[in-house]
Amino acid sequence: MSGLAVVCRRVVHIYRTEGNDVVALAGVDLDIAPGEMVALVGPSGSGKSTLIALLAGLMRASAGQVRIGTVDISKVSDTELARMRGTDLGVVLQGAQRNLLPYATVRSNVWLAQRRAAQVRPGDVESPERVLSLLGLTGVAHRRVDGLPPGTAQRTALAAAMASSPGLLLVDEPTSQLDRKARDEVLEALTTINSERGTTIVTVTHDPEVGQCLGRVVTIRDGRVGSEGRDGREFAVIAGDGTVQLPPEILDAYPPGTLLTVEHTDGQVTMLVNRAS
- Nearer to another protein by Cβ, of 58 and 244: the residue is 58
| Closest separation in Å from C-beta 85 to another protein | 4
What is the spatial distance between Cα 178 and Cα 175, in angstroms, rounded to a whole number? 6
The helix or strand, by DSSP H or E, that contains position 252, with its residue range, turns out to be helix 248-253
Q: Is 130 in the site for another protein (CB under 8 A)?
A: no
Contacts of 271 (CB under 8 A, 6+ apart): 260, 261, 262, 263
Residues numbered 153 to 212 that lie near another protein (CB under 8 A) are 160, 163-164
Which residue number, 162 or 239, has a Cβ lying nearer to another protein?
Answer: 162
Q: Please report the sign of the dihedral spanned by the C-alpha atoms of residue 128, residue 85, residue 24, residue 256.
A: positive
Q: Least distance from C-beta 129 to another protein, angstroms? A: 16
- Chain centroid to CA 216: 11
The one segment of 106-114, 188-196, 224-232, 251-259 that binds another protein by CB under 8 A: 106-114
**227 within 8 A of 247, measured Cβ to Cβ:** yes
Residue 7 near another protein by CB under 8 A = no
Minimum distance, C-beta of residue 110 to another protein, in the bound complex (Å): 10
Interface characters, 107-126, with another protein (x: CB under 8 A): -x---xx-xx--x-------
Instruction: Give the residue with the Cβ less far from another protein, 99 or 219.
Output: 99
Scanning 39-47, 53-61, 123-131, 148-156 for contacts with another protein by CB under 8 A, the matching segment is 53-61
- Are the CB atoms for 29 and 63 separated by under 8 Å? no
The b/e string for 38-74 (b: 16+ C-beta within 10 A; e otherwise) is: bbbbbeeebbbbbbbbbbbbeeebbebebbbbebebb
Binding-site ranges for another protein (CB under 8 A): 53, 56, 58-59, 78, 82-87, 89, 91, 93, 98-105, 108, 112-113, 115-116, 119, 144, 160, 163-164
